[in-house]
Amino acid sequence: MDQDQRSPTGRKNGWAKNWAAKLLGQAQITIDGNKPWDITVHNDALYWRVFRYGSLGLGEAYMDGWWDSPSLDQFFYKILSLRLDDSLRLNLGMLPEWLYTHLLNPQTKSHAFVVGEKHYDIGNDLYEVMLDSELIYSCGFWKNAKNLQEAQEAKMDLICRKIGLKPGHKVLDIGGGWGGFSKFMAKRYGAKVTMLTISRQQAELAKIRCQGLHVDVRLQDYRDIDGKFDRVVSVGMFEHVGVKNYRNFMEVAARCLSDDGLFLLHTIGSELSEFGTDPWFAKYIFPNSMLPSVAQIGKAAEGLLVSEDWHNFGADYDKTLMAWFANFNAAWPTLEAKYGQRFYRMWKYYLLICAGNFRARRAQLWQIVLSKRGVKGGYQRICE
């Protein structure tokens, strides 16, 4: 036994390595193996770092180059399918995020623009090469689609048909991103759209992309909107609202919706009622975010809105994320000088862990149609 193995640090790392090997073995993942989902460890301090700091330690160690896997999406699919991530939940890495989300309200109006600055304002050049031509940054609908462009257009058209969009309808688009969906509703369906975003770069580009159309782009928090609308839509934004504000969000939607109007909420969903997010995601990808559960959405809408339809196509997010990664990876040579290698590893980790999560069906994608007083005669579900 060498000196390192006899030292307290060496013993900790050795114990943690045995723990990790047993845990990974349950998913048929081998350390330094040769299967696509196996991992190669470059620094033995990885094991104790993960044991102590959980998912935060695992993600930061990947960014630091301490470990690799030929197929991160398959690695995480295997881990998450067996719920082995539950073994990492109780650790020091989770404590700050748990205290922050339980004791405070991270999604107040004063914090509303943080995720815009930290995530959506990274650089439009990144999103322009990663996303489809309309810059739609949410799950595509792949039932009859052959590629990302078709999947995103199918998703937008599906939403418009679900809400019965007609020419002249006034629509509130909460969290409209770079304006792709607002543009689609105005151009394809003749709607008059008011679009909200909390990202300055999104707002600037959306105004350019929607020139000449009935689209009013506003850099504005949803809580500050006034007026009445025939339809309200929110696509991929509710994940930033926060459990302490779900009721307020539904109150805004109900207040702005006409009596005979429809509201469509498109959101990633969690199988559990959580009060925070993964600490690595909170630190590096989506600060102040969290995924809602069925129970939390239902409680928030209770007495305000009637649930007319609930559609889950979460498996389609796996395909969407893999398409985004393929685009990002192919375009990386044009981005590397600006963003650097550590960003590449962070972004790759983000996209592929999410793909594995949806593939394991641990996260869902819901489209929920709600009305203010119930559709007279019943809501006619749109054939997919």
Known catalytic residues?
354
**What's the farthest any 2 CA atoms get from each other in the chain?**
78
Kindly give the residue spans of alpha helices, DSSP state H, lying in 34-170. 46-63, 72-81, 95-103, 114-115, 124-130, 148-162
User: Beta strand 40-41 with 67-68: parallel, antiparallel or unpaired?
Assistant: antiparallel
User: Beta strand 257-270 with 363-371: parallel, antiparallel or unpaired?
Assistant: antiparallel
Residue matched to tokens 């990790």? 20
Kindly give the residue spans of alpha helices, DSSP state H, lying in the chain. 3-6, 8-25, 46-63, 72-81, 95-103, 114-115, 124-130, 148-162, 180-189, 200-209, 246-256, 279-284, 294-301, 315-339, 341-359
DSSP string, 31-74: BT-SSTT-BEES-TTHHHHHHHHHHHHHHHHHHTTSEE-S-HHH
The β-bridge partners of 300 are none
CA atoms of 322 and 139, how far apart (whole Å): 11
Measured distance between the N- and C-terminal CA atoms of the chain, rounded to whole angstroms: 64
CA atoms of 41 and 48, how far apart (whole Å): 13
* Sign of the CA dihedral running 7, 12, 18, 24: negative
User: Beta strand 306-312 with 363-371: parallel, antiparallel or unpaired?
Assistant: antiparallel
209 neighbors 183 (Cβ within 8 angstroms): yes
Question: Cβ-count burial of 226 within 10 angstroms (0-12 exposed, 13-18 middle, 19+ buried)?
Answer: exposed
